[in-house]
Amino acid sequence: MIVHSEGDSRKILLGMKKRGFGAGYYNGFGGKVEPGETIEQAALRELEEEAHVTALDMERRGVLRFIFDDNPQPWEVHVFHATEFSGEPLETDEMAPVWFLEADIPFDKMWADDVHWYPLFLGGKCFRGEFFFTKTTTLVKHTLEEVAGPPFPWPDVPL
Ligand SMILES: COc1nc(N)nc2c1ncn2[C@H]1C[C@H](O)[C@@H](COP(=O)(O)OP(=O)(O)OP(=O)(O)O)O1
């Protein structure tokens, strides 16, 4: 989930992951879907657990597949956007939240796919793509396309 403040200064809220997979990278807030949950419920829960923020107007904007040559299980990641929220971002055991001006997004400290799809995200578009990684973090190739929306036409346009 990427929380966006669209007032006078357009800023996005990212979290620096403090432990586990992707530690040290800035990312939107998220994690795995738990049994019995929808993808949307998982996105809301992870934002609350990791940043103590509740999204009030979430919208699906992207669906991405990450394929790793050192992990047989690809990841399907859904990107949600929220512009209305309650709560003050708070550092947790897992994430340190930081607001960034759109012009200052720290792509050199983020997953290598982000620099490709954030321009579509920031431009208000919907998108889907596949990203192939070697040695966990090195991006070797990708596909990316804009789709209709918002809202993202899920599940009519699957990944
Ligand atoms: C491989 O490249 C990735 N790029 C981007 N942009 N985001 C990624 C990539 N790999 C994982 N992510 C995202 C997906 C999630 O939003 C977060 C964290 O995933 P993870 O499941 O590791 O999250 P945890 O909070 O550790 O897991 P649980 O809370 O579910 O245990 O990163």
pLDDT digits (tens, 9 = 90+) for 110-122: 999 999 999 999 9
Among protein residues, the one whose CA lies closest to atom 27 of ligand 1:
31
User: Distance between CA 53 and CA 97 in Å, rounded?
Assistant: 10
User: Distance between CA 84 and CA 24 in Å, rounded?
Assistant: 27
Percent of the chain topping pLDDT 70 = 99
Ligand 1: distance of its center to the CA of 103 in Å?
23
User: Distance between CA 95 and CA 25 in Å, rounded?
Assistant: 10
Integer angstrom CA distances of residue 110 from 128, 132, 149: 19, 16, 26
Ligand 1 proximity of 74 Cβ (cutoff 6 Å): no
Ligand 1 proximity of 21 Cβ (cutoff 6 Å): yes
Q: Could you report the predicted ipTM of this complex, rounded to two decimals?
A: 0.92
Among protein residues, the one whose CA lies closest to atom 11 of ligand 1:
22
User: Distance between CA 81 and CA 58 in Å, rounded?
Assistant: 5
Q: Judge contact between 95 and 124, C-beta under 8 A.
A: no
pLDDT of 156 above 90: no
pLDDT of 8 above 70: no
Q: Tell the CATH superfamily of the 2-147 domain.
A: Nucleoside Triphosphate Pyrophosphohydrolase (3.90.79.10)
Ligand 1: distance of its center to the CA of 37 in Å?
17
pLDDT of 157 above 90: no
pLDDT tens digits, one per residue of 57-109: 999 999 999 999 999 999 999 999 999 999 999 999 999 999 999 999 999 99
Confidence (pTM): 0.95
Mutation test residue for ligand 1: of 33, 50, 60, 111, the one with most atoms within 8 Å of CB:
111
